[in-house]
Structure 1
Amino acid sequence: MKTYYLSFVPPSKANKIKLNLRAYSKSGKRYIVPKDVSIKINKAIWELQKQKEEDPVIKIPVEIKIDFILPDRRKRDLDNIMKTLGDCLVYAGILEDDNLIFKQTLEKHIIKGKEGVIIKITAYQEKKITESELSKLENFKRKLDGTGD
């Protein structure tokens, strides 16, 4: 389908500050995103929108391959960064909803002095799970329950 680029690695959604517990949100907790994190997220959305052109919003299941180019070996949690990227793809009008991501592959590349993200989005091709694998799963569950062999 399409490849998108970001000039930097967006911050993780985990970069938020817990507020007073007496102020409630749907989950009963309230958080605030620090200004510097918010600015970077908005920049990522802007960069994606600049590349979107007139492409229609994707409304079908997709597979996403993301290559993170990192300038150093500092610890980064790719799962949390992916949560931010999924939201950015929605806010930029690329994906209708991030629940359309059926498969994702995340990979780190450490290249001194370089930074960015390469996002490849293709239509998802479902791979069937075999009856043998389903049977093994059911056997495993029975063993956990104490009803199996």
Structure 2
Amino acid sequence: MEKELYLSFIPPSKANKVKINLRAYSKSGKRYIVPKDVSIKINKAIWELQNQYDASPFSNPVEVNILFVLPNKRRRDLDNIMKTLGDCLVYAGVITDDNLIYKQVLEKVVVKGKEGVIIKIKEYVEEEKFKKDLQKLQNYKEKINGI
């Protein structure tokens, strides 16, 4: 089953956090504060996803294909935006944990004056083609270790 979801805007990057008080620690050992405008956009993204997704959350490995429609050529780091988007998928109840994303394809296209995100998500099916690649990796490791 493949689900297609949309966001009407580009979510903010995880890099939009401000580091605070290094003496106080969170679980990760770092403390951050999220600016109010970033927090509002994250909550809006969660709300939009919740309004489109009415099934049980994916609890098995998934594959996501994400198309970012950007209004201009301003530099954006898709990796950092994807971190925010993964969290939004969890909080919206689309997936149970973002570590279930086994394959992700991120693509951006610039369409002047247009903005949004198209998300296609489905269960991940491991392909047999990787067995050949894994053998090549193993051969390489043996070669390097023998040097």
Measured against the shorter chain, the TM-score band is: over 0.9
TM-score, length basis structure 2: 0.92
- Could you say what secondary structure the match of 1:14 adopts? helix
Q: For structure 2, list consecutive stretches of 5 or more residues without a partner in the other structure.
A: none
How far apart, CA to CA, are the structure 1 residues paired with 2:29 and 2:62? 32
User: 2:82 maps to what in 1?
Assistant: 82
- Cα deviation, residue 143, structure 1: 4.2
User: 1:45 maps to what in 2?
Assistant: 46
Q: What do the CA deviations read for 1:56-115 (whole angstroms, capped 9, x no partner)?
A: 111121111100000000110101111111110110011111111111111001000000
User: 1:6 maps to what in 2?
Assistant: 7
Instruction: Give the count of matched residue pairs.
Output: 145
Q: What do the CA deviations read for 1:22-71 (whole angstroms, capped 9, x no partner)?
A: 11112322111111111100000000011113x11111211111000000
How far apart, CA to CA, are the structure 2 residues paired with 1:52 and 1:124? 19
- Could you say what secondary structure the match of 1:130 adopts? helix
User: 1:29 maps to what in 2?
Assistant: 30
User: 1:116 maps to what in 2?
Assistant: 116
User: 1:104 maps to what in 2?
Assistant: 104
How far apart, CA to CA, are the structure 2 residues paired with 1:61 and 1:27? 24
How far apart, CA to CA, are the structure 2 residues paired with 1:136 and 1:60? 28
How far apart, CA to CA, are the structure 1 residues paired with 2:139 and 2:53? 47
Task: Supply the AA of the counterpart residue of 2:49.
Answer: L
Task: Supply the AA of the counterpart residue of 2:96.
Answer: E
Task: Supply the AA of the counterpart residue of 1:79.
Answer: D
1:45-64 matches, within 5 Å, as: 45-53=46-54, 55-64=55-64
- Could you say what secondary structure the match of 1:79 adopts? helix
TM-score, length basis structure 1: 0.91
